[in-house]
């Protein structure tokens, strides 16, 4: 009897180091984009909260601190992968990145970006 477990499946070719680097940079960029998106969502949500409390009006320093806290929360959520935006982006862009891996492996995505 023949083994039919591999029927219809294509054999995945091993990735070259350049392709692996290109995919790593894609992951990094997609995660950063998800973080920026989540930070914008959190900022918009924060804008709906009243600025007055039992302690008085929110000071400029409290507002700055809240913005920085929202940014860090958004980055942590993006890194966890729980939302899944980066994963979908990576799936959609994988073939394009692998098609031009020589150039994509050298794209600069370091540093923090914000909205």
* Confidence (pLDDT) at 73: 94
Q: Say yes or no to pLDDT of 115 above 70.
A: no
* Confidence (pLDDT) at 51: 80
Q: Which tens digit of pLDDT belongs to each residue from 4-46?
A: 455 444 556 788 889 899 999 999 999 999 999 999 999 999 8
Q: Which of 65, 74, 71 is nearest to 38 (CA)?
A: 74
**Cα atoms found within 13 Å of the Cα of residue 50, Cβ hemisphere only:** 6
pLDDT band of 1, cuts 50, 70, 90:
very low
Range(s) of the domain holding residue 80:
17-48+59-104
| 115 and 36 Cβ atoms separated by less than 8 Å | yes
Domain count of the fold of the chain: 1
Which residues have a Cβ under 8 Å from the Cβ of 94 and sit 6 or more positions away? 23, 26
* Confidence (pLDDT) at 42: 93
Q: Which tens digit of pLDDT belongs to each residue from 54-94?
A: 778 878 888 888 889 999 999 999 999 999 999 999 999 99
CA dihedral defined by 36, 18, 100, 37, rounded to 10 degrees?
A: -10
Does 6 reside within a domain? no
Does 110 reside within a domain? no
Does 1 reside within a domain? no
Does 11 reside within a domain? no
* Confidence (pLDDT) at 32: 92
CA distance 41 to 36: 9
| 113 and 28 Cβ atoms separated by less than 8 Å | no
Does 41 reside within a domain? yes
Structure pTM?
Answer: 0.74
């Amino acid at each position: 009897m023949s083994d039919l477990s591999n029927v219809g499946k294509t054999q995945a070719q091993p990735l070259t180091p350049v392709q692996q680097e290109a995919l790593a940079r894609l992951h990094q960029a997609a995660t950063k984009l998800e973080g920026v998106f989540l930070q914008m969502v959190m900022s918009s949500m924060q804008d709906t909260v009243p600025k007055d409390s039992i302690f008085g009006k929110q000071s400029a320093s409290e507002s700055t601190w809240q913005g920085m806290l929202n940014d860090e929360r958004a980055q942590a959520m993006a890194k966890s992968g729980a939302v899944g935006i980066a994963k979908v982006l990576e799936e959609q862009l994988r073939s394009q990145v692998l098609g031009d891996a020589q150039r994509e492996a050298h794209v600069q995505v370091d540093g923090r970006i914000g909205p």
